[in-house]
Amino acid sequence: MTRLLRRLPVAKTGRRRGTRPLRRLFDIALTVALFAVVAVLVARLEETATVERRGQASVGDGDSLTLAGRRIRLVGIDAPELAQSCRRDGADYACGRAARDALRALVGQHAVVCRGHETDRFGRLLAVCHAGDTELNRTMVEKGWAVSYGDYGGAERRARAESRGLWAGQFERPRAWRAVHGRASDIEIGLAERLRAWVAALFGAG
């Protein structure tokens, strides 16, 4: 009788069919877990792999400079393009050049130190930079010559309330200006910064 039961294919096949869905679910869950672990490890490596550049800097525009042969974009802010015009006291003025001049004045003859761990599609380091004791990113927003782009929302609100820089007149946000004038690609940035900008926009931080 025992030998006969062992030969019956129905009971054995039933057990296999019952375990296959469970095995498939287990494999899917394991794959998802592995991807999550890899994503966390990659994010951690990006955070810890900080690049530092220091020395005399040349200013390109209101939110970018070149330091030690490396192009750098000031992360978390967005300044008018060099060709951009704004209005103040009923007249147009070259606000893009004014923003560049403001950043040049902040840099002056100071040695500049920039630190960051991401690059944009153009190979520019996305960094927070200091000239002496002055943080360039925050100060450009505080003085009203750049707007928040993922960070420094409080600094922008203060500049707007006190009509500093761009806020003394009327202007298009640089991103909107680039979209109209075919320069939208110039703001391409790293994944983490895009997420910060999206969260800031969602919760009204900018």
Residue 94 banded pLDDT, cuts 50, 70, 90: very high
Q: What pLDDT is stored for residue 33 in this prediction?
A: 72
Measured CA to CA, the distance from residue 95 to residue 190 in angstroms comes to: 26
- For the chain, the structural domain boundaries read 2-47, 51-202
Find out if CATH 2.40.50.90 is the number for domain 51-202.
yes
| DSSP string computed for the chain | -HHHHHH-HHHHHHHHHHHHHHHHHHHHHHHHHHHHHHHHHHHHHHHH--EEEEE-EEEEETTEEEETTEEEEETTEE---TT--EEETTEEE-HHHHHHHHHHHHHTT--EEEEEEEE-TT--EEEEEEETTEEHHHHHHHTTSSEESSS-HHHHHHHHHTT-GGGGSB---HHHHHHHHT-GGGG---HHHHHHHHHHHHTT--
Q: What is the pLDDT of residues 15-74, one digit of tens each?
A: 555 567 777 777 777 777 776 655 555 455 555 589 999 999 999 999 999 998 999 999
Q: What pLDDT is stored for residue 187 in this prediction?
A: 43
Q: What pLDDT is stored for residue 54 in this prediction?
A: 93
Q: What is the pLDDT of residues 154-177, one digit of tens each?
A: 999 999 999 999 999 999 999 999
Q: What pLDDT is stored for residue 98 in this prediction?
A: 98
Q: What pLDDT is stored for residue 63 in this prediction?
A: 97
Question: In the predicted model, what is the mean pLDDT of the chain?
Answer: 82
Q: What pLDDT is stored for residue 19 in this prediction?
A: 64
Torsion angle defined by CA atoms of residues 14, 19, 24 and 29, in that order, rounded to the nearest 10 degrees: 160
Whether residue 149 has pLDDT greater than 80:
yes
Q: What pLDDT is stored for residue 5 in this prediction?
A: 45
| Total-model pTM | 0.67
Q: What pLDDT is stored for residue 46 in this prediction?
A: 52
